Amino acid sequence: MKKDTAIGLQATQSMEEAGRKVFVYHFNDLLKQESGTRLGEDIEALHNMRVATRRMRAAVRIFENGFTPSALKFLKIGLKETAQFLGSVRDLDVFIEKVTVYQQELTIDKQTGLTPLLNHCYRQRNLARTKMLSYLDSKKYKKFKEKTARFVKKNNTKNVAISFDKPTPFQIRHVAPLLLYNRYETLCAYEPFLNNASVEQLHQLRIDFKHFRYALENFQEILGDESLLILSEIKQMQDCLGNLNDARVGCELVKNFLNNWKKYRKSLNMNKAKKPVAVIDYLKIKTTECEQLLTTFPNVWHEFNSTKLRNHLALAVANL
């Protein structure tokens, strides 16, 4: 989210009022990407729709304390289901794109060795798209959109009832600092384990980085300009962890393909039971990539988690 793209937040707004503003902002983005996602000609439309869904899910976690426990239940369920259908297609889009780039760097005779893998992935992607489109056409999804549209348009600007015996913080300026630091604290908890972290642990760290990033972005227009510097650092970390996650997903997809090679060979009308050497070589490359990223990540982390970044966070929050 760009600094000049305002959601319309004010530091004195309640978490409920702010939450609705954030929800409608990302919901409109989700709707804007839907037609392109359905068409399927540009994979970025689906990617952007998935990101909008993720940002809404993150916003639910950020602002849920400003609502009654049941108020956001339908949002949690609908967004989770939408994300699952979009994610199934997106993961295959990313994998196919990376294999294709790798394939184009090979000699012509070696390129054909990856064709069975790509053909299988295209078939899986078509199946995933069919399921996704069926969901997007369903009454359930239509009802979810209609209910969300009504919910985010509610104009509830009244202050939360306050008990003077035990005042409860409800304004952004009082709630956001601890919320942001809690997410930063979650990231710091990984530090003692990074030298021996598994791919799965770093995958979870990637998710926690997203939570921190989305929280910063949601409050960005009322934070200090230092938030932009923090977001730039987070993006570099996410790029590194994203490459690792893509390599991990790629390894899993290739392993599954190889484990079921005989079955896939028949379904792809390949009569000769040749060993898929090119696919095996690609798995070796992705495995090596995972190992290299695991080895170098602790150094990347130490560049991120510096005194300078902590100062930026303190100054950004001080603007509230």
Q: What is the three-state SS of 161-227? A: CCCCCCCCCCEHHHHHHHHHHHHHHHHHCCHHHHHHCCHHHHHHHHHHHHHHHHHHHHHHHHCCCHH
> Reduced to 3 states, what is the DSSP secondary structure of residue 242?
helix
Per-residue model confidence (pLDDT) at position 96: 95
| Overall size of the chain counted in residues | 320
User: What pLDDT, on the 0 to 100 scale, is given for residue 172?
Assistant: 94
Domains of the chain: 14-154 (1.40.20.10), 171-320 (1.40.20.10)
* DSSP, res 14: B
pLDDT at residue 61, as a whole number: 93
What is the predicted pLDDT for the residue at 163?
A: 57
Give me the pLDDT at residue 265, please.
Answer: 73
The CA angle 168-172-173, to the nearest 5 degrees, is 90
pLDDT digits (tens, 9 = 90+) for 33-56: 999 999 998 999 999 999 999 999
Per-residue model confidence (pLDDT) at position 5: 63
Kindly state the helix (H) or strand (E) to which residue 105 belongs, with its residue range. Answer: none
User: Is residue 258 classed as helix, strand or coil in its secondary structure?
Assistant: helix
Cβ neighbours around 230 below 10 Å, total? 24
Q: Give the pLDDT of residue 162.
A: 52
C-alpha span between 205 and 201 (Å, rounded): 6
pLDDT score, position 195:
87
Q: What dihedral do alpha carbons 116, 119, 120, 123 form, nearest 10°?
A: -170
Per-residue tens of pLDDT for the chain, all 320 residues: 544 468 889 999 999 999 999 999 999 999 999 999 999 989 999 999 999 999 999 999 999 988 887 889 999 999 999 999 999 999 999 999 999 999 999 888 788 889 889 999 999 999 999 999 999 999 999 999 999 999 988 765 544 445 567 778 889 999 999 999 999 999 999 999 998 888 889 999 999 999 999 999 999 999 999 999 999 999 999 999 999 999 999 999 999 999 888 777 766 666 555 778 889 999 999 999 999 999 989 888 988 989 999 999 999 999 99
Classify residue 33 by burial, with Cβ atoms within 10 Å: 0-12, 13-18, 19+. Answer: buried
The pair of structure tokens assigned to 251 is 């390894």
Per-residue pLDDT, 152: 86
What's residue 192's pLDDT?
92
213-267 confidence digits (pLDDT tens): 999 999 999 999 999 999 999 999 999 999 999 999 999 999 999 988 877 776 6
